[in-house]
Structure 1
Amino acid sequence: MKVQPWLVVLAVAGTLVGADQVDQRQTTIELTSKRTLMSAPVNIAVGGGFVSGGELADGQGRAKVGNGFSHCGVLSVSVAVPPAVTAHCTSTFRIQDGELHLSGLRHYRSITEGFEDTTMAVIGGTGKYSNARGEAKATRVVDRADVGYRFTITLVD
């Protein structure tokens, strides 16, 4: 039996329409962080790198749930004093049931004060998160003296 070309086109189009209508499940993880490590040098320069990180707590900042560390490569440095820095950072959050791995750009008005609010890609992980994909939003926690962030991580199944 000969298959008509227009039947093939309709079958492919039907598959694409169906794929757009598939519901995706989402899981949200909320964490807060307290920075206890920052290795950025005083004379930071393009091409250099630094490590930062510290403790992770639950979304209310009450119970420690793990730790998180980032390795950043410096992409640009302003001539201002202190210099503003843009960096590409990869982060690993070790929490119960595995690790979450994140990647994204960060803009620092001042390295000592921390980075501005940003969005990062969830690029994988280990354990329960071995196939993790999604997005993480980092928002600076301004009601405390130390450098800290609230992370809202949305995983898509």
Structure 2
Amino acid sequence: MATAGEIAPEFALPDQEGKVHRLSDYRGKWVVLYFYPKDDTPGCTKEACSFRDEKGRLEQMGAVVFGVSADDTQSHGKFALKYGLNFPLLADPAAEVIKAYGAWGKKNAYGKEYEGILRQTFLIDPTGHVAKVWEKVKAEDHALEVAQALEELQRV
């Protein structure tokens, strides 16, 4: 798992419009990279809408937001359109970036254990280092929590 203080793993993934985003393209900016299990599911929708609603505030602090799941670009496009999502959703169907960040692991649902995407968020500083990690995320209001942490980090 990528931990605070480490250099964040590089990525190059397409968004819902097919544009490829590379972490290195965003040097000099704060990057909010949040991993979520599945497009258009209740928790993931709440989390995405939370980031949609906080995007302006995060941008004012010099941050860009990316959501990442294993869904394909077409699924991301439908999800973004349905909820007016105003930031890139990155498609990682092979889960390579998801695993590089450590956002893949054992999960439990309805008494069954399986492996899948863990709801986690990584805040990457302008030098490309992981500044903060949220390993257990409550989907609702998570973006507010990220914005508050970013404010605190920028005060230091």
TM-score range, shorter chain: under 0.3
Computing the radius of gyration over CA atoms, which structure comes out larger, 1 or 2? 1
Instruction: Name whichever structure is richer in strand by fraction.
Output: 1
Higher relative contact order (CA 8 A, sep 6+): 2
Instruction: Name whichever structure is richer in helix by fraction.
Output: 2
